[in-house]
Amino acid sequence: MKKKALSLILAGAMVLSMSACGGSKEAETTAAATEAASTEAAAEETGAEAEADTKEAADGQTYRVGICQLVQHDALDAATQGFKDALVEELGDAVTFDEQNAQGDSNTCSTIINSFVSSGVDLILANATPALQAAQAGTNEIPILGTSVTEYGVALGIDDFDGTVGGNISGTSDLAPLDEQAAMLNELFPDAKNVGLLYCSAEANSQYQVDTVKAALEELGYTCQYYAFSDSNDLSTIATKAASESDVIYVPTDNTVAANTEIVNNICQPEGVPVIAGEEGICAGCGVATLSISYYDLGVGTGKMAAKILTGESDISEMPIEYAPQFTKKYNAAIAEALGVAIPDDYVAIEE
């Protein structure tokens, strides 16, 4: 009887022991599973954080843009300002500018461009033809946008230019309808005989414009004569000769004249010789009338192009040159009155 009782006690103890062992293994399994799940969750959280960090880095992309402006005058200043305003509107604080002015020296343009290339800017704005030519020579990798450039085929030496430069260059043109500028001269001065074409021979786009206007004026019956100066040092001498031999003077979108309109006005106005200008800034300084674009709007268009290039939305090699959407007949009220020139009603007075 005692032996049977002892056997029952031992059997119970064994059952309890086995139950305890089973519970221990189950607890270990549960603990292991919990730890694995925790590790997986931590990994997922780390991955999410990494993804968030990557997105934040992408969103925090910054861009540095180099601006090379040939010379300081109203038209180029307006184009640069429009460019900066548009790019800041598109990219905000993500864009910074290194803005430099060559003070009318094409060699200085090359120095400025080389500094941009050395510092690794993300994009170059070349404001005016000599700046664009320097940029073309300076890099074939950094995107280059030109503005205030009249004819890209002429500026870059491209035969049969089809409207797209290709490679790392595009931009905007300030080309106004030259035949309509000739027609404007004819509208205001139908009785004139001799037209002097005053321009800087060092500016390829000025040569292109006066050649085109000369052909249009000759078809209208005028006799045209070139008056080319090499730089600002001989502008006064050549302008004096032009004023003494011309009934009317035509000046294209010439940067040297634009920076020295006072010289031209001090010669032409006392001689009673009116000037038809290629753009508003020149007209404001020495002209009677112009068929002109808004250089600020031209700069805005260039800035929008830049934003697309920097963000990867557009490939610069496939971007055609863009042109001003509209042109306005404008006149200089003070000079028109001084010279006794009657201005038609559809002209807009240039704001002083």
**Full DSSP string of 293-343:** --HHHHHHHHHHHHHHHHTTSS-GGGPPPEE-S--EEEE-HHHHHHHT---
Residue 187 DSSP SS3: helix
Cα(350)–Cα(333) distance, integer angstroms? 7
pLDDT recorded at residue 60: 81
CB neighbours of residue 348 within 10 Å: 12
Return the higher-pLDDT residue of 56 and 335.
Answer: 335
Q: Which residues of 121-141 are buried (b: 16+ CB within 10 A; e: fewer)?
A: bbbbbbbbbbbbbbbbebbee
What is the pTM assigned to this prediction? Answer: 0.79
In the chain, % of residues over pLDDT 70: 83
CA angle 41, 42, 47 (to 5 degrees): 95
Highest mean pLDDT among 5-9, 44-48, 197-201: 197-201
pLDDT at 125 over 90: yes
The mean pLDDT of the chain is 87
Q: What span, in angstroms and rounded, lies between the C-alpha atoms of 225 and 3?
A: 140
| Model confidence pLDDT, tens digit, residues 270-281 | 999 999 999 999
Per-residue pLDDT of 128-177, as tens digits, reads: 999 999 999 999 999 999 999 999 999 999 999 999 999 999 999 999 99
What pLDDT is attached to residue 24? 42
Helix, strand, or coil (residue 344): coil
* CA trace torsion 27, 31, 33, 34 (10° rounding): 130
Question: How high is the pLDDT of residue 59?
Answer: 58
Burial 29-64 (b: 16+ CB within 10 A, else e): eeeeeeeeeeeeeeeeeeeeeeeeeeeeeeeeeebe
Other Cβ atoms within 10 Å of 8 Cβ, number? 10
Q: Is the pLDDT of residue 35 over 90?
A: no
Residues 20-36, mean pLDDT to the nearest whole number: 43
Q: What is the DSSP string of 217-265?
A: HHHTT-EEEEEEESSGGGHHHHHHHHHHH-SEEEE-S-HHHHTTHHHHH
With a cut of 70, say whether residue 7 has pLDDT above it. Answer: no
β-bridge mates for residue 163, sequence order = none
Least confident of 28-37, 50-59, 121-130, 312-321: 50-59
| Cβ neighbour number for residue 288 with a 10 Å cutoff | 28
**φ and ψ at residue 225, rounded to 5 degrees:** -135, 135
What's the CA gap between 4 and 257, in Å, rounded? 127
Res 196 pLDDT > 50: yes
Instruction: Assess whether pLDDT exceeds 90 at residue 301.
Output: yes
Instruction: Report the C-alpha gap between 35 and 44 in whole angstroms.
Output: 14
Task: Give the residue carrying structure tokens 């601006």.
Answer: 67
User: 232 pLDDT exceeds 50?
Assistant: yes
Does 27 have pLDDT greater than 50?
A: no
- Residue 304: pLDDT over 60: yes
Ranking 22-36, 299-313, 331-345 by mean pLDDT, the lowest is 22-36
Phi, psi of 124 (to 5 degrees): -120, 130
Average of pLDDT values for 206-218?
97
